[in-house]
Structure 1
Amino acid sequence: MGVIYFLRTYKDSPVTRTITLLFGGQVVMAIAGLILGKAIALYIPPTELGDYNLLLSGLNLAHVVLIVPILQAFKTDQAQLGIRAAFPFYSRLIGLAYVLCAGALLVFGYVYDQFLPALLISAAGIGQGLYSGSIDYLNLNGKHRFYTAIQLSYSIGNLLLFALVVINYHQSTSLGLWLCLALSNVIFAGIGLTYSYKLIPATRLNVPDLPTFATFWRYAFPLIALALWGWVINYGDRYLISLYLSEADVGQYSVGYGLGAKLVILVSPFVVHSTRQVYALRAANVPTKAVWLVQRKYLFTYAALAGSACVAYLLLRDELGLLLLSDTYKEAFQIGPVIAFGYLFLTLIHLLEVQWYAYGYTRLILWTTIAGAVANIGFNLIFIPYFGLIGAAFASLLGFLIQFVVACFLYKSHLY
């Protein structure tokens, strides 16, 4: 019903054409990602992949706690004040964050004779933040063609780098994966920043108030707490699996989790396009009840599409497992569909949260995330010792479901 409603409303409209462009790009990216997943399953042993994922989880923690709040606050301020007014403050802030983080990591790597891994992790982290910030700016400026093109190039570039480094030079190790990620993030951060710089207007808006650390901190503090709890939801189970089971099991779980989490590709076009719409309404001070009338079109359409994809994945889980992975990762076959249903609830939350980010109601996002994190960890502590990897998957599903219920309650309460 959601699909029919959306198509009737936006048939042959610019919205439909943009969604089609974004969705087409996501399909190609999904294919590239699945090929990369297949290659990883064939060439990377579970223990090496488990070690890489544990380190990657640590990098993601630093990224979501220190960098994402800065990028999100910058996105909000530049929508209201203009990029010329917001850029000087936020460029200094993110530069300081990177200098402190990368410097500490490099010193740690030098002291413990792990300087090369520390260097690659630092490069990957810096590139990740700059790449994310640049493509966000492209989206907010309506440059959806280049936005899609750079994301496609990034996905294909990851695949080509894997073929060059891991397959051609036989680097089937955690270090080989970090080299691929560092090169990809740095290269495409450079491309994104170069094009984004050309879009910056020559003059800035005449605004009375410029960003200060006090205004940034009021906006970002809930996001930092949110990031910590969000990281617990998405990555905390890896460390519990490592504690109760082994690093090889972390590798198995990560592959199955990654396959199920591919559902996020379906929601990306809806989040990208609705974000631009909602932020435009925010700039015009449109009431949130009116924003819901825009958001629900995206929400219902996505729910119908993603729900169908989850059911199909569940029915074809063994066939898809053999096609997309390998016998080495057979335990991951059953994990993927469970995670996919969990991500159905999580991605629906992402669509709801677009309004909260735009209107500065980050405390609501924090409350829903805390609810999901507490449920997730609680279920993991109960399920992993008794049911192993599949128990961790069902713990994630139940945690996301509880988080979705809380988000719906808060969203409705906030509107009325």
Structure 2
Amino acid sequence: MSDNLPPSTEAPMPSKPPFWRDEEKRAIVFQVVALLVVGLVSYYLYSNTQANLERQSIATGFGFLDKEASFEIGESIIEYSAADTYLRALAVGALNTLKVSLIGVVLTIILGTLIGIARLSSNWLISRLSALYIEVMQNIPVLLQLFFWYAIFYEAFPPPRQALNPIDGVFLCNRGMIFGVPEAHAAHPVMGWVFLVVLIAGYFLNRWGHKRQDLTGQSFPALRITAAAAILLPGLVWLLYGAPTAMDIPALRGFNFQGGVTVSPEFSALLLGLVIYTSAFVAEIVRAGIQSVGKGQIEAAMAIGLRPGKVLQLVVLPQALRVIIPPLTSQMLNLTKNSSLAIAIGYADFVAVTNTMINQTGQAIEGVALIMLVFLFFSLSTSLFMNWYNKKMKLVER
């Protein structure tokens, strides 16, 4: 009986490949080996550095941050004196870097967008002037531009005793621009908080207005309401506090001005150099983004009676932003990192303050590590925000 049974149709079990031919296992082995090599190299560098520091009797660690800094800083957003600690001095430098970076990014986006749009203008003169600006500013190194503007501020303006006074309470000299500001009053912080609350409420009101328009087709003037409230409500607070009008007017005392607010030549030169240099690249990004929008979109918008300004605002820019945002993020990061060149013209940014700290304490490794961490934090924060905005603006596929 058994001899008459049909042969088995079951396929033979495939044999396992040898270890060295199994791609998954090889990948695991390669990763483990790479990790071991990186670990060994890191351990060698660390142990070698520690041995050299001990041989030269150089202390390590961040304990020096609690010691007295013993040096002044020309510009500071927060109160600072030479009797403060190195930690507070570093905080002053970080805030100075943050100040020039934030203001620079805003001005760069505005100027770059205007020049990018002007580059596509049908007016021959405007288009050629924009192209000239882009070509010239892109090809002059940013450091040379910083030196140029710094020299302009010191050579073009007179000393404080011969300061220019174009407007009452405003003075221009080689120490910077000095102008009057309202004296400190309890109403000012309250007005600031009210203004901030109005902006936050306006953001949610604008979102609600868009949802309402999607459902009903009726627009809601959220921006106009927010703008009116941002003016009227802080003004109402100002009136409730007695409408304070006292001003802190600068006055010449000895060899310099006292009172008011001073915008230093170092800050002005750094800001101008970074904005003018980076805006040339942003202008090309904006131009490319606008040209990526199909002509049919523009023709359709004009066919329904939209004016050129509305076509740009409602049709072109919303679509162009999806092309503009990724390279724009890189330029924002470049501006922030290029701010470290401030040390060349004497602006007290984080790099300059840290360099002074290193010269006094000899803690070079710790100082360089702090510079790397601070700029890494600024860059990652910018990237996270822009990635969120890019995700928000991308096309939603159905």
Name whichever structure is richer in helix by fraction: 1
Task: Give TM-score, length-normalised by structure 2.
Answer: 0.31
Name whichever structure is richer in strand by fraction: 2
Greater relative contact order (Cα < 8 A, sep 6+): 1
